[in-house]
Amino acid sequence: MTETCFLSGASANSYDSPAVSDEVLERAVAKLVAAGAGVGISMDAMIKLLESGMSVRELVEYVLTRAGDVE
Q: Write the pLDDT tens digit of every residue in 1-52.
A: 444 455 455 544 455 556 778 899 899 999 999 999 999 999 999 999 999 9
Q: Where are the domains of the chain?
A: 21-70
Q: Are 10 and 47 in contact (CB under 8 A)?
A: yes
- DSSP strand E in the chain: where? none
Give me the count of residues in the chain: 71
Q: What is the pTM of this model?
A: 0.66
